[in-house]
Structure formats: structure tokens, C-alpha cells
Amino acid sequence: MADARTTISLDAMIMADPKVPADLDAWLSKNDQRIFEELNEFLRIPSVSARSDHDGETRRAAAWLHAKFAGIGFATETIPTAGHPVVLAEWRKAPAGAPTILVYGHYDVQPPEPLELWTSPAFGPQVRDGKLFARGSVDDKGQLWIHVKALEAQLAVRGTLPVNVVVIAEGEEEVGSEHLGAFVEQYAARLACDAVVISDSSMFAPGIPSILSSLRGLAYFEISVQGPSSDLHSGMYGGAVVNPAMALARILSTFHDRRGRIAIKGFYDKVTPFPAAVLRGMRRLPFSDARFRREVGVKALGGEAGKTTLEKLWTRPTLEVNGMLSGYTGEGAKTVLPATAMAKVSCRLVPDQRPEAIERLLKAHVRKVAPPGVRVTVQHLHGGRPWRADLSGRVFDAARRALSAAFGREPVVVGEGGSIPVVGDFERVLKAPVLLVGFGLPGENAHAPDEWISVDNVRRGMRAMAMLLDEYVA
Ligand code: BES
Ligand code: ZN
């Protein structure tokens, strides 16, 4: 897939030679082959959290990671939850009074289907054209790996770390992090830290390191429509019995107005404007709608009238249908009036919307518009709060310096349309700033066939994240 932002350059921001400390750089270069061999091992484990028939593999990924942290000298525990376990790894030998950094990542991945659209097998990592292809390469095993190796490099070269480090790696991010909020509360004392660092997002464009200033939240629903007690002959019954598929279509068609706004009463009540400086920065980023259209393969874009694409993606809430199921979908024709219909629907949320409130509003809306003759139920599957950072303070300054050194140019500030449910919990429970610094790239195919991470970004990312620890105490 062509990607929208590859050819854009921000030359004015290019700095001289990247300046990574020679000892760290040399160790990472010397160990480069082993680093990628081990990452490939991690990527070969099909830790698909959504699939219960893969639970053994998901656990194997946790055990594999556990062994790696133990191997580099971290006190490591694999802690069971009601779902997949959390790997908690701690290194607390920094000088007295040294700060503590918490690193978070996830070892679970999205299902790889449709398998036939992968050029090489989803769990058979392969490098082509500087890209490492595999499910989980960018989301998030490869990015978590950047931190593991940054820590290993520091320990190998210096024999110590300048800060205490706690790592938590979860196995349920891709299914909504259901048990992690409670985990963070229960283990709050062990997780206490001065800053949280997460790499589970993307850079704005190749060569342009990026710091995230916001994530959207999520509220995910299943809407079920039950009609007659069984499928019916559409000739014998059609016209007199309400068709659940049509009823569902009607309900779905009420969710937006003509201008692309969400027509659920009260939906926008808690939406607060983004700071003017953030919006100004967003407008300065080089972004082309035409390229974006080409990247996704459409002739026209949609959404709310009067908003730019980046505004729509980063600062506005949405309601999308994620899947639909009803009636006959096999080969040929079948004249049937289906008994049921189902849609998966999710809302992306922005500050200060709350998933629980959106659940109430959406349920009230569906009750109001559901036609008679069918029974409609709405189930809330999972949710997460939106997040917005105030990018001032020590960890952000350190990140700017480390990224500048490793990438040879200053980072830009970007927003993001995706969600990482635990980020809000970290901020709320641990009261620590969260630095989101991602190493993916546009077109990386996260959640899709042919997911990849740039090999160069992994290399620079390891250097930047190793330096971050030095810069944090500088
Ligand atoms: N890594 C993504 C989140 C993300 C995507 C951040 C793009 C920044 C840019 C994460 O693994 C993910 O996909 N999250 C899910 C969360 C959901 C299942 C609760 C998402 O956003 O759909
Ligand atoms: Zn992820």
C-alpha cells in the first residue's frame, strides 16, 4: 500500500549527525543480529488474546517474555488475572533517591485473519524492503522489544541503570484491557513511579519522531435484534412480519445526521475543545487529503462537515459499525426472512466523554428508535477513557532530547485516533505523566494483513529509549 506521508519532508528540522553515546551504539550494533533473531522468536508465538483456543499460546508469550526479563536481571513475576496474565518485571538497584520509570506494553496480538491476504505467514516473520512483516511486529511486540533491548543495552554496557525501572506487559490490550484497571489499583504501590513510558503508536512520517498528545477512548457495543422465533420462508411470511435485518438497518441509519454528526441526544455534551496550541500545531503538520485518500483506496472522504481530516481523526468522537450479521450469506440465493440480526458498534471518545455515560445515551437512543415487532438489546462489551497530555515536564524534555539524538531531528507532537485503555488508569491511579512515543509508521497495517515495523525504526528506537534513561536524570 502506498502511504500518505512518506514523501513529505520537514527539512528545516533536520539536525546534524545523530548523537547516540558511542558505548550504547556499539553494543546495539554488535548485538543487532541476535536482537532481531529473538524478536522473531517472540513474533512466532501466535498470542491472539481474542481466541480462547489460543490461550496456551498467549500464556507461552507471557512465559517467553518473563524469561527474557529474568535473563537481563529483572526481578520478574507472571501474575494471573481473571484473563491473561501480566508480566511484572522490576529493577530497583538505582542509587538511593533515583526516580522510577514504568514501561508498559502488550504481548497479545490481533487475530491474523484473513490469512490468504498475507504475503508471508502472519506468524512467520520476514524482512522485505527494510520492513519486518508479522502479526504483532508493530502492535506491539516489536515496540515492547525496543524497550527490552534498550534496558539490556544499558545494563550490559554500564552494569547499571540510572533510574529504577518497572515493566508491565499485559496480554489483553487487544480485547479491551478488561482486568488491567483493577490490576493497576491493586498493585498501585509496586507500580508507583515518576513517569510512564509507552511505545504502542506511530510516528507521523518516516524519519520524523513523534510524541503523542492524545488518544481517543472507546465504548464498544453489540446490538442484537430478535424477530420471529425462527427463520421464516420470505414468501410465506415476508411483508407481514418485521424483518430483523431491516429493523437493524433502520436503527443504524439513525446514528448520524446529514452533516456526519452523531445524532444521539447528549452525545457531544462532555466534549471539550482541544487547546488552541495543539490545534495550531496540528494544522502545521504536512498532511494531504489526496494522499490519504490514495493510501486507503477511496475516491472521497467522509465524516463531519467542516473539520479537517486530522481534526476528525484526533479530536472528534465517532460511531462506527464494526461488523454485521444476519440472514443468508452463503453462495447463491436463499429466500429467507432471518430471525435475528446483530451489529457490532463502537464509539471513539474524546475528552471528557466517559464510556459509561455513552452507554446510557446509546441505549436510550436505541430504545427510542427501535421499531415495534422486534426485540432489541444493547450489550456494552468494553470501554476505555480518552486521554490528553500536558506535554510539559521532565520526561517530555528527556524524550525530545533522546529522540533528536537517535533520529537526527526534533520530534513533532501528534494526536491519535486509536485507544490504549490503561493510559487513563495510569494517570488516575499512579498520578504520573504518561509519555507515548511510538515507532510505527503510516501504512504499517496494524490489525490488518501484512503488518510491519520498520527495521530502521527498531534500531533508532532502541537507541532513543536507552538514551531516554540517561536524559531523564541529566
Ligand atoms: N496500538 C494500538 C492503539 C493505537 C493505534 C495507538 C494507533 C496509536 C495509534 C492498540 O493496540 C489498539 O489497537 N488498541 C485498540 C484498543 C481497543 C481494543 C480497546 C484500539 O484502538 O482499537
Ligand atoms: Zn497495540
Kindly state the cell numbers that stand for 471: 536524559
**How far from the centroid of its chain's Cα atoms is residue 150's Cα?**
21
Answer yes or no: is the C-beta of 174 below 6 A from any ligand 1 atom: yes
Pocket test for ligand 1, best of 146, 419, 422, 434 (most atoms within 8 A of CB): 419
Q: What is the pLDDT of residue 18?
A: 65
Q: What is the pLDDT of residue 2?
A: 40
Q: State pLDDT tens for residues 403-427.
A: 999 999 999 999 999 999 999 999 9
Q: Is the model's pLDDT at 13 over the cut of 90?
A: no
Q: How far is the CA of 233 from the centre of ligand 1 (A)?
A: 42
Mean pLDDT of the chain: 95
b or e along 284-319 (b: 16 or more beta carbons within 10 Å of the residue's beta carbon)? ebebeeebbeebeeeeeeebbeeeeebbbbbbbbbb
Q: Is the model's pLDDT at 5 over the cut of 80?
A: no
- Give the percent of the chain with pLDDT over 70: 96
Tell me what the mean pLDDT of segment 102-112 comes to. 98
The sheet carrying 126-128 orders its strands as 126-128, 131-133, 452-454
Asked whether the beta carbons of 24 and 153 are under 8 A apart, the reply is yes
* Total-model pTM: 0.91
Residue 104: closest CA among 210, 213, 200, 201: 200
Q: What is the pLDDT of residue 73?
A: 98
Answer yes or no: is the C-beta of 286 below 6 A from any ligand 1 atom: no
Return the ligand number nearest the Cα of 219: 1
> Residue 6: pLDDT band by 50, 70, 90 thresholds?
very low
Q: What is the pLDDT of residue 220?
A: 96
Q: Which residue has the cell 543480529?
A: 33
Q: What is the pLDDT of residue 68?
A: 98
Q: What is the pLDDT of residue 295?
A: 87
Cα distance between residue 22 and residue 120, in whole Å: 36
Q: What is the pLDDT of residue 17?
A: 56
Q: State pLDDT tens for residues 129-142.
A: 999 999 999 999 99
Q: State pLDDT tens for residues 331-372.
A: 999 999 999 999 999 999 999 999 999 999 999 999 999 999
3-state helix, strand, coil in the chain (%, to 5): 35, 25, 40
